[in-house]
A and B are shown apart, each in its own frame.
Chain A
Amino acid sequence: MNATGIPLKEPSVSAAAGATEQLERAYIDASTRVPVLMFYTSAMAWLILGTLLAGFVSFKLHAPDLLSNISFLTWGRMRPAHMNVMVYGWASMAGIGTAIWLMARLCRTVLRYPLLLVAAAGFWNLGVLLGVCGIVLGDSTGYQWLEFPSYAAIILFVAYTLVGSWAVLMFRYRRGEQIYITQWYLLGAFLWFPWLYAAGQLMLFVVPVQGVLQSAVGWWYANNLLFLWFGAIALGTAYYMIPKVIGRPVYSYHLATIGFWSYALFSSWTGMQRLVDGPFPAWMITASIAAMILTMIPVATVGLNHHMTMQGYFPLMRYSPTLRFTVFGAMSYTVFSVVGLLISLRSVARYVDFTQASIAYSHLGLYAFFTMTIFGAMYYIVPRLIGREWRYASLIKLHFWASAYGIGLMTLMLLAGGFLQGADMENPTLPFSETVETVLPYLRGRSLAGILLTVSHFIFAYHFGLMLLGLGRTSTVPTFLNPVEAEEASGGH
């Protein structure tokens, strides 16, 4: 990836910012170019691979004989391969890329020690590649979300250590006393992840805990990865992008504080609700269900804060790609949390446990919430790294609608299918195969939704490729989704 060959252009200008400030931002953006683009490009490659795997996995579920005689391609290996490519390849790398850029911007200093990050991106890719190959070759550990064999996990952890130490170093160079709310979330994510990952690895592989506790540690890890790593990065990004695009400060700093601390406190206690009625002391599960209920506090405060910030500015979503994706992601955070709460209540869990509904929940979190927010951030950040604007508004629109309809349809299919599957399962007079029959049409519907998502990802990858090749538009105004009638949309900076 030869990012340095791309001509740097001063980023588009906001009327509010003074000349020095613009220059300063341009320098900062330029300093982040190589590492951030490295993470983004790798993430895009993993996204495409993960999408192809996803389609394969989805079709195989209702067409089980599809290429099933080759051990590498058996469903039980393709599924974790897809999951890990998406979680560690796409989502983590795109999240780190975004976080790097945000950190540099918010610390108001040019990026120091870029080699740390370049090395980290290299190691991270190597770790994911080895891990996925390990899974495909039959070396999976068998723990969900932690399938990577240990040789891959170690490399991933080394890569992470480089990113984490870079983040702490950057913080020492920051200018100004103010620590913006986005930095809280990012700092949280950067500090939580290594602890989480190390705890998961240690308690499962190095000094393994006994019996069912492995499952408890596994789901504790998975849920916290979702909330404290991906969730924190996405919320931090939304807190930056929404006010930035509409050119208006966050509605309430107090709400932001409450939202952050309640998020850190309560969402970290969730996870065990996924083991409802399993062989565990009941208090563990109840504690997590209670925590799920309490996560409604951060949901309400963060949601209210974003909503009040956006109040009166919603029409801007017509123009700004970033805003449209980010607001979709921020709204999905609420949906994700509410669905998560509903399916963890014992009376409902009875019907949705062990069904496709839990897949719907994971996709709501990782896709509708996290990925959509990160797409929004990429639409904002990439032009500032490359000095060109996105080439086609129509492609962005297509990307958005294919993604939005795709994930919406997928969630509906999996939730509805999951509920019916669970209801059948709770009716012991029905043969078990009937429950599978019930859910199959919904799985076909899910495959259809997957096709939409595949289209959207290929469109985005193509557009991103054009940008990398320097084929973006040369312009001083960002690419708007629709022609701007007035200068009301000038907040695109």
Chain B
Amino acid sequence: MKGLAPLFLGIFGTFAFSWVGLTVLPNWQIGHLNPQSDEEGTDIYPQPQSGMFERGARVYAANGCIYCHSQQVRADYAADDIERGWGNRRSAPRDYIFERPVFLGKMRMGQDIANIGARAPAEQASPALGGGAPPAASPSGGTSPAASSAPQAAAPVAASPAAKQSGSPSPATQAASPAPAGSPATASSPATAAAANATPGGTTTVSSGAQSASPPWPIQTIGEPPMYSAAWHHVHLYSPRSINFDSNMPAYRFLYKKRRIADARSADALKLTGSDAPPEGWEVIPSYDAKCLVAYLMALNQSHPLKEAKSAGGAPPAAGSPAAAPSPAAAGSPAPAK
């Protein structure tokens, strides 16, 4: 090799080429996206989050959730993420414009949680909307005394929003192990699904109907808190194997405090059963970090339609659940919000 100049130039040149090509150019192309809004400038999505969300994201980063959970839904032609019920459309760059750090993830030892917030039961406050068919029978370890009467109690509720087996037991029953998933889920009820869409989130119109249309497999749960509700997340973080005993997720008990009950049991104490339950006179309460983490998870929601990403309609009927006929409301339409 003659001389250093060509060597230096080549070393710089090749790297500059890659740097410009793979970081500067993309930044120029998609690095300055704005939120989407409709003609009147309302219905803005996404919206910046703050407060507990940001702190929750830091807890998420600190404890390495990203090493097992992805937050991206691949398109239906590329993979079966949508069929798995992880979203009703593919993720698009615009979904992430306010996120920092962004947790796309590279590993799925756990489920994709890009839409975990959208899978939450519509709202505990309005039990009628509590989301569809209950999850499958749990191991009979459900200790609630109501367990035996649960199937009957659940039946009328489960029948109406049947199109979506969001896998959350009806909060009305608050009982362990109602009927197996899929079996009572026959009638599709657009009205209820539409109502379910109007989540209290307000700004982000959640089409949780389409969102949660799916898991055709039984999910084991003791069923106490409705699945994917805040209370459920706390129990799941505290004791993953009490919810799904095949789970290999570590428990995050260091985010919780066990303390003696002062005068009354505090409102946010975890409803634990079995060997996880604290001794008599004690309670387990979430730390502020745990609350932030759950607030963060509850806010993960990409179900709002985006122009650039075709919504998949009500996700294709998953095998084993003929009930999932896509209803218009469940197709991810933003209409009900206004």
Q: Give residues in A with beta carbon < 8 Å to B.
A: 60-62, 64-65, 68-71, 74-77, 79-80, 138-144, 171, 177-179, 184, 187-188, 191-192, 195-196, 199, 203-204, 208-217, 220, 224, 228, 257, 261, 264-265, 268-269, 271-272, 274-275, 277-281, 284, 287-288, 346, 350, 353-356, 358-359, 425-437, 439-440
Contacts and interface: CB of A to CB of B under 8 A. Distances in A.
Nearest to A276: B78
Contacts of A278: 72, 74, 91, 104
Most chain-B CB neighbours within 10 Å: which of A60, A70, A220?
A220
B15 A228 contact: yes
A212 B18 contact: no
Given A354-B108, A430-B217, 16 more contacts: A64-B241, A69-B254, A74-B250, A142-B103, A179-B7, A196-B15, A210-B97, A265-B17, A268-B14, A269-B17, A275-B104, A277-B74, A279-B95, A353-B79, A431-B218, A431-B219
B318 to A, nearest CB: 6
A360 to B, nearest CB: 12
A179 B7 CA distance: 10
Q: Which 8 A-B pairs have the closest CB atoms?
A: A76-B64, A142-B61, A431-B217, A268-B18, A211-B96, A138-B62, A354-B108, A71-B254
B75 interface: yes
A76 B65 contact: yes
B54 to A, nearest CB: 12
B125 interface: no
Interface size class of B (residues with CB under 8 A): 35 or more
Contacts of A287: 21-22
Nearest to A228: B15
Contacts of A209: 23, 27, 31
Contact of B30 (A60, A188, A199, A212): A212
B50 interface: no
A27 B68 CA distance: 52
B53 to A, nearest CB: 14
B31 A437 contact: no
B159 interface: no
Interface in B52-95: 57-58, 60-68, 70, 72, 74-75, 78-80, 83-84, 90-95
A142 B59 CA distance: 10
Most chain-A CB neighbours within 10 Å: which of B32, B108, B253?
B108
A138 to B, nearest CB: 4
B123 to A, nearest CB: 26
A65 B251 contact: yes
Given A277-B74, A281-B29, A281-B30, A428 B64 contact: no
Contacts of B264: none
Contacts of B72: 278-279
Main secondary structure of the interface of B (DSSP, over half): loop
Nearest to A426: B80
A398 to B, nearest CB: 32
A63 to B, nearest CB: 8
Contact of A279 (B17, B92, B110): B92
B216 interface: yes
Interface in B211-256: 215-219, 240-241, 244, 246-255
Nearest to A79: B67
Contacts of B32: 210
B100 interface: yes
Contact of B102 (A196, A211, A224): A211
A235 to B, nearest CB: 14
Nearest to A178: B1
A435 B99 CA distance: 29
Contacts of B111: 432
A75 B93 contact: no
A116 to B, nearest CB: 21
B51 interface: no
5 contacts: A69-B251, A76-B62, A210-B97, A228-B15, A261-B14
Contacts of B79: 277, 350, 353, 426
B63 A216 contact: no
Interface in B153-191: none
Most chain-A CB neighbours within 10 Å: which of B26, B60, B241, B253?
B26
Given A75-B64, A188-B11, A211-B33, A358 B26 contact: no
Most chain-B CB neighbours within 10 Å: which of A142, A171, A195, A199?
A142
B106 interface: yes
A355 B107 contact: yes
A430 B32 CA distance: 39
A143 B99 CA distance: 13
A79 B14 contact: no
Contacts of B110: 436
B139 interface: no
B336 interface: no
Contacts of A191: 8, 11-12, 15
